[in-house]
C-alpha cells in the first residue's frame, strides 16, 4: 500500500484508517468547487446488458454494435473497442464459448464482472499486464466484504453464482475456491459503482478500488460522476487543507475528509439510514444524521415525506397529534384526521395501480392521463415538497417528453425545480440537470428569455459537478451562446 500512499500524496490526498469507519480519504491541500480531487479508470467494468438492450463492452455505446463472433455474448462497436478489451476477453471468450448456448444466458453482467476480476488477477500474476500502485488486485483484496452481515438467502445466492464462476474458470483447486468467489460477490455488492452517463442514466457497473476508499456523507463535499468509464470525483465546496472547519466537513486529526454520497440524499434521515444499512451495512453518523429527532430533523422529515395542510395557501408541515388520531399543521394549527388521510391514500393507490397497468400495456396516452390524476390527488395529500410528489412529476415529465409534448413536459419540469432547490444542495448534479431540461424545453418552445436563465443556472451547477471542459458541459455552453445570440438579434430587430 506504500505505492498507493505515495501516488495519492502527490495529488494532495492522504489515506487514514479509522477504527470504526475503516479506510478513508483526507485532503492534504485546498480543493475548490469544480476541482477534480481524484479520477480513476475501472479496474474491471461491464455494461448492464439485458435481452432488451445491448452496449459495447469498451465504450458502452448502443449504436453500430456487432456480436463477438467467438462467444456470441459480448458486443463491440468496432475494432478499436474490441482490440482494447482483447487481452482479457480472449480468455473470457474461450470460457463463454465452452458453455452450451442455453447456459450462456445465465451469464449475467454480475457474473461477467466476477470473471473479469479473476482474469485480470491472473494476467497480473503472470505479469502479462502491469500493476501500477492505483490499479492492482491488492487494492481489491483490501476492500470490505461484510460477509458477517449478509443474510442466509443472499449468502446462498452468492454461493450459487460463485459455483458458476468456479466452473467456468476451470482452474486448479489450489488457485481458487468457491468461498473466496462468494466473498468477492459480497465485496462487489458494497463497493462497485453504477456507471452512468452525464445525465446520470445507468449504463453498467465498474469497480474502482481507490474511489471506493472515499467515505459516505448525506451532506457530501464532493460528487462522483463518470466521463465514459472514467470515474471522476470533484469538490462541490471548498475543502480546506485542514485547520478550518465549515459546516459539512468532518475533521480527522488536522485533515478534512473527502466525502461523497452513496445514496439518493433526498429523503428523511430514517429513509437514508435504512438504505445505507441495507446495501452498505453501516449506520451513518454524518452531520445530517446525528441531528435525528431534533426539531429541524423532524421538520425535514415532515416536509420530505409528510402531509400537506388543508389550507391551499399554507405551506406548513404537519405533525401527529398527541392522541395519534389527527395531524396538526405547525403553521396554522389546521387539523387533518387519520381516516381522511387514509381514505385519500387508498384512492391514490388504486389510481397508481391503474396507471401501472396501462403502462405495462404500453398505452402511453392512457397512463399519462391516469398519472396526471394521481398527481392532482397527491397534491391534496402530500406536502408540496415531498419526494413522492416529485417522483410522480418526474415520471410525467419523462413520459410527456417521450410523446414530444414539450409544453406539457415543461409544466411538470417547472413544478419540480423549487423542490430540487429545496432538497438538494446548491451544486448537485440532479439540480443542474433539471435546470438543463427546463432550458432545453423553453428553447424548443421559443421562450428564449427563460431558456437563457435556465441554461445559465444549469451551466453554473454542471460546470462544478461535471467540469467545464467536458463535452457534455461544452455542448450546454454552446446552446447558451446560441440562445443569447438569438435574444440579442430579437432585441436589435425590435429597435429597428
| Residues of this chain that bind Zn ion (CB under 5 A) | 56, 58-59, 68, 70-71, 74, 77, 81, 93, 218, 284, 286, 288-289, 309, 311, 314, 316, 329, 331-332, 334
Minimum distance from CB of 272 to Zn ion (Å)?
6
- For residues 311 and 363, which CB has a smaller minimum distance to Zn ion in the complex? 311
Task: Transcribe 191-260 into DSSP letters.
Answer: H-EEEE-TT--EEEEEE-TTGGGSEE-SS-SEEEEEETTEEEEEESS-B-SSS---TT--EETTEEEPEE
Task: Transcribe 149-181 into DSSP letters.
Answer: G--HHHHHHHHHHHHHHHHHH---GGG--HHHH
- For residues 27 and 289, which CB has a smaller minimum distance to Zn ion in the complex? 289
- For residues 56 and 140, which CB has a smaller minimum distance to Zn ion in the complex? 56
- For residues 71 and 139, which CB has a smaller minimum distance to Zn ion in the complex? 71
d(CA 249, CA 488): 44
Minimum distance from CB of 65 to Zn ion (Å)?
8
Residue with cell 440579442: 488
- For residues 112 and 395, which CB has a smaller minimum distance to Zn ion in the complex? 112
- For residues 82 and 367, which CB has a smaller minimum distance to Zn ion in the complex? 82
Q: Which residues on neighbouring strands pair with residue 319, listed in sequence order? A: 328
Minimum distance from CB of 73 to Zn ion (Å)?
6
- H/E segment holding residue 135: none
d(CA 37, CA 299): 34
Minimum distance from CB of 361 to Zn ion (Å)?
35
Evaluate whether 67 touches 74 at the Cβ level (below 8 Å).
yes
Minimum distance from CB of 483 to Zn ion (Å)?
33
Q: How many whole angstroms from its chain centre is CA 345?
A: 29
- For residues 307 and 412, which CB has a smaller minimum distance to Zn ion in the complex? 307
- For residues 297 and 411, which CB has a smaller minimum distance to Zn ion in the complex? 297
SS3 for 338? helix
Minimum distance from CB of 57 to Zn ion (Å)?
7
Evaluate whether 221 touches 311 at the Cβ level (below 8 Å).
no
Minimum distance from CB of 180 to Zn ion (Å)?
26
Evaluate whether 220 touches 259 at the Cβ level (below 8 Å).
yes
Evaluate whether 289 touches 272 at the Cβ level (below 8 Å).
yes
SS3 for 312? coil
- For residues 314 and 444, which CB has a smaller minimum distance to Zn ion in the complex? 314
- For residues 311 and 376, which CB has a smaller minimum distance to Zn ion in the complex? 311
- For residues 8 and 303, which CB has a smaller minimum distance to Zn ion in the complex? 303
Number of helices followed by number of strands (H, E) in the chain: 16, 17
- For residues 230 and 477, which CB has a smaller minimum distance to Zn ion in the complex? 230
CA nearest neighbour of 225 among 249, 241, 258, 201: 201
Instruction: Report CA-CA distances (Å) from 63 to 59, 60, 69, 252, 329.
Output: 11, 9, 18, 47, 53
Evaluate whether 226 touches 196 at the Cβ level (below 8 Å).
yes
| Burial readout 190-222 (b: 16 or more C-beta within 10 A, e: otherwise) | bbbbebbebeeeebbbbbbbbbbbbbbbbbbbb
- CA quadruple 424, 429, 431, 436: dihedral, nearest 10: 180
Instruction: Report CA-CA distances (Å) from 493 to 161, 191, 484.
Output: 68, 58, 14
Q: For residue 1, what is the DSSP state?
A: -
Amino acid at each position: 500500500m506504500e505505492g498507493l500512499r505515495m501516488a495519492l500524496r502527490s495529488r494532495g490526498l492522504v489515506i487514514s484508517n479509522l477504527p470504526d469507519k475503516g479506510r478513508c480519504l483526507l485532503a492534504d491541500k485546498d480543493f475548490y468547487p469544480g476541482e477534480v480531487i481524484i479520477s480513476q479508470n475501472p479496474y474491471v467494468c461491464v455494461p448492464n446488458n439485458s435481452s432488451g438492450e445491448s452496449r459495447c463492452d469498451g465504450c458502452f455505446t448502443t449504436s453500430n454494435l456487432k456480436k463477438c463472433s467467438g462467444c456470441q455474448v459480448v458486443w463491440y462497436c468496432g475494432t478499436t473497442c474490441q482490440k482494447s478489451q482483447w487481452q482479457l476477453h480472449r480468455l473470457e471468450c474461450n470460457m463463454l464459448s465452452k458453455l452450451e448456448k442455453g447456459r450462456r444466458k445465465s451469464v449475467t453482467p454480475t457474473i461477467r464482472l466476477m470473471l473479469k476480476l479473476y482474469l485480470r488477477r491472473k494476467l497480473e500474476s503472470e505479469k502479462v499486464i502491469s500493476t501500477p500502485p492505483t490499479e492492482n488486485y491488492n487494492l481489491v483484496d483490501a476492500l470490505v466484504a461484510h460477509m458477517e452481515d449478509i443474510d442466509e438467502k443472499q449468502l446462498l445466492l452468492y454461493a450459487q453464482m460463485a459455483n458458476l464462476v468456479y466452473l467456468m474458470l476451470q482452474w486448479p483447486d489450489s488457485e481458487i475456491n468457491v468461498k473466496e468467489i462468494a466473498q468477492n460477490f459480497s465485496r462487489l455488492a458494497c463497493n462497485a459503482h453504477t456507471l452512468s452517463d452525464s445525465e446520470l442514466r445507468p449504463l453498467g457497473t465498474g469497480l474502482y478500488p481507490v474511489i471506493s476508499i472515499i467515505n459516505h456523507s448525506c451532506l457530501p463535499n464532493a460528487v462522483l460522476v463518470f466521463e465514459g468509464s472514467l470515474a471522476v470525483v470533484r469538490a462541490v465546496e471548498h475543502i480546506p487543507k485542514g485547520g478550518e472547519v465549515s459546516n459539512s466537513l468532518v475533521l480527522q486529526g488536522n485533515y478534512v475528509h473527502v466525502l461523497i454520497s452513496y445514496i439518493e440524499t433526498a429523503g428523511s434521515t430514517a429513509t437514508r439510514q435504512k438504505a445505507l444499512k441495507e446495501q452498505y451495512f453501516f449506520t451513518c453518523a454524518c452531520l445530517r444524521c446525528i441531528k435525528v429527532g431534533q426539531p429541524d430533523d423532524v421538520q425535514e422529515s415532515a416536509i420530505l415525506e409528510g402531509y400537506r395542510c388543508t389550507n391551499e395557501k399554507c405551506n406548513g408541515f404537519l405533525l401527529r397529534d398527541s392522541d395519534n388520531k389527527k395531524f396538526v399543521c405547525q403553521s396554522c394549527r389546521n387539523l387533518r384526521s387519520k381516516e381522511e388521510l387514509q381514505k385519500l391514500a387508498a384512492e391514490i393507490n388504486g389510481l397508481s395501480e391503474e396507471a401501472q397497468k396501462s403502462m405495462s400495456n404500453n398505452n402511453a396516452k392512457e397512463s399519462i392521463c391516469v398519472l396526471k390524476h394521481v398527481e392532482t390527488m397527491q397534491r391534496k395529500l402530500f406536502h408540496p415538497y415531498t419526494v413522492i410528489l416529485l417522483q410522480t412529476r418526474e415520471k410525467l415529465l419523462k413520459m410527456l417528453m417521450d410523446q414530444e409534448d414539450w409544453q406539457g413536459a415543461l409544466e411538470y419540469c417547472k413544478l419540480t425545480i423549487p423542490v430540487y432547490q429545496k432538497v438538494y444542495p446548491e451544486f448537485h448534479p440532479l439540480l443542474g440537470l433539471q435546470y438543463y431540461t427546463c432550458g432545453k424545453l423553453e428553447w424548443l418552445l421559443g421562450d428564449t428569455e427563460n431558456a437563457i436563465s435556465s441554461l445559465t443556472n444549469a451551466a453554473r451547477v454542471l460546470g462544478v459537478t461535471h467540469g467545464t471542459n467536458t463535452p457534455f458541459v461544452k455542448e450546454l455552453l454552446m446552446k447558451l451562446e446560441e440562445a443569447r445570440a438569438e435574444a440579442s438579434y430579437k432585441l436589435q430587430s425590435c429597435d429597428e
